[in-house]
Every structure is written in structure tokens, then in C-alpha cells.
Amino acid sequence: EVEVAIKVVVVGNGAVGKSSMIQRYCKGIFTRDYKKTIGVDFLERQIEVAGEDVRLMLWDTAGQEEFDAITKAYYRGAQACVLVFSTVDRESFESLELWKKKVEDEVGEIIMVIVQNKIDLIDDALVQTSEAEELAKKLRLRFYPASVKDNLNVEEVFRYLAGKYLER
Ligand code: GDP
Ligand code: MG
């Protein structure tokens, strides 16, 4: 049996919840003061999609995003990408297109999805979901409002990417 393995890079400004998302999806936990580095390049999880076993390798950036210093090795061979911003961080939303370009400069056009994280903080929102939907439409990308904290839509994001990958 041939196993399908997908390298997924999770990008976006610092503190939007990327490490938390990876941790939540692969280990099933959420902590408020999650350490900056996880000490490994990626965490993985295996799921079944359309009768196929898919191994998702989720690459974390260990905080380098703040110094614009993510190495080429991080992007190399990526087949899918999660573009993450935070509901309560306007700048993280405005940086999304830059992140998309960065990824595409390294690996070309790959499967991407936009995630608006921290939707549980909607009462303090600095970005409206409608704006994000508009951007996603413009970029022709699937959009998910999510809360890693409340475990809302995290599974769905990665299931979508895996399904899309199998469709190729
Ligand atoms: P990263 O820099 O993008 O990897 O962000 P982290 O995963 O380190 O998360 C930054 C902070 O946001 C941490 O304190 C997390 O606990 C918190 N956080 C992550 N996801 C959520 C969420 O969905 N809701 C809320 N309220 N906080 C979150
Ligand atoms: Mg992190």
C-alpha cells in the first residue's frame, strides 16, 4: 500500500496561534503558555480521507517569523500551506498576502487555505470575518474562521487540505 504523505507549512505573523494549532491537531491539547519552540521540525498526524491513509506533516516555524528569517529548508517540498492570522491582530491580517507571496516564491503555487484564528475573541475583533472572506475570494482560497482554543474548525482545515491534495 502506497502511503500518501503531505508536507504542510503553517505560516503567519508571530502569536497568531500557529504552534498552538499544530499542537492541538497533532497532540490534541491546548495550553495558554505554549513554549516558543517544540524542538522538532514538524509534528505529524495520520488521517483517512476517501479511503486513503494520509500522513500530514505539519511544519512549525519556532518563532523565526518575527525576524523574517525562515530558512529555505522550512518551505522545501511543501505541498500545502495554512495562512493564519488572528482576529485580534490587524497587522497579522494585513500581512497575509506577503506570506502567500513568500511561500509561492519558494515553492510555487501549492494548495492553500486562509484561517482566521482566535474567533473566540470576536467581541474584541480588529478584523471582521467578512473582510477575510472578501480577501479569500479575491485570492481564490478556501477560508475558515477557527478557534484553536475551543477546537473549532481545526480538524476541518487539515481535512480540506488533504482532500484537495488527493484530488490533484
Ligand atoms: P505562534 O507564534 O503563531 O506560534 O502562536 P502561539 O501558538 O504561540 O500562540 C500565541 C498565543 O495565542 C498563546 O498564548 C496561545 O495560547 C494563544 N492562542 C492560540 N490560539 C488561540 C485561540 O484560538 N484563542 C485564543 N483566545 N488564544 C489562542
Ligand atoms: Mg510558534
C-alpha triplet 111, 161, 99: angle, nearest 5°: 45
C-alpha cell at 15: 502569536
- Averaged pLDDT score across all residues of the chain: 91
Report the nearest-CA residue for atom 25 of ligand 1: 118
Return the higher-pLDDT residue of 2 and 149. Answer: 149
Report yes or no: 119 and 152 within 8 Å, Cβ to Cβ.
yes
- Atom of ligand 1 minimally distant from the CA of 34: 8
Where is 52: in which H helix or E strand?
A: strand 52-59
C-alpha dist (Å) from residue 58 to 19, 26, 45 = 10, 8, 8
Report yes or no: 11 and 84 within 8 Å, Cβ to Cβ.
yes
Q: How far apart are CA 11 and CA 161, in angstroms?
A: 15
- Å from CA of 21 to ligand 1 middle: 8
Report the nearest-CA residue for atom 12 of ligand 1: 17
Bridge partners (DSSP) of residue 112 are 81
How do residues 35-80 score in pLDDT, each as one tens digit? 554 556 789 999 999 999 999 999 987 666 654 567 778 889 999 9
% of the chain exceeding 70 in pLDDT? 89
**Distance in angstroms between the alpha carbons of the first and the last residue of the chain:** 19
- Å from CA of 99 to ligand 2 middle: 15
Residue keyed to cell 500500500: 1
Taking each helix axis from N to C end, the angle separating 129-139 and 96-107, rounded to the nearest 10 degrees, works out to 30
Residue 147 has pLDDT above 70, yes or no: yes
- Å from CA of 20 to ligand 1 middle: 6
How do residues 104-119 score in pLDDT, each as one tens digit? 999 999 999 999 999 9
Q: What is the pTM of this model?
A: 0.94
> Stretch 25-40: mean pLDDT, rounded?
70
Question: Which ligand sits nearest to residue 37's alpha carbon?
Answer: 2
Give the closest residue to 16 by CA, choosing from 135, 146, 156. Answer: 146
141 in helix, strand or coil? coil
Pocket of ligand 1 (CB under 6 A): 14-20, 32, 34, 117-118, 120-121, 147-149
Ligand 1 pocket test, pick from 13, 20, 22 with the greatest ligand atom count within 8 Å of Cβ, gives 20
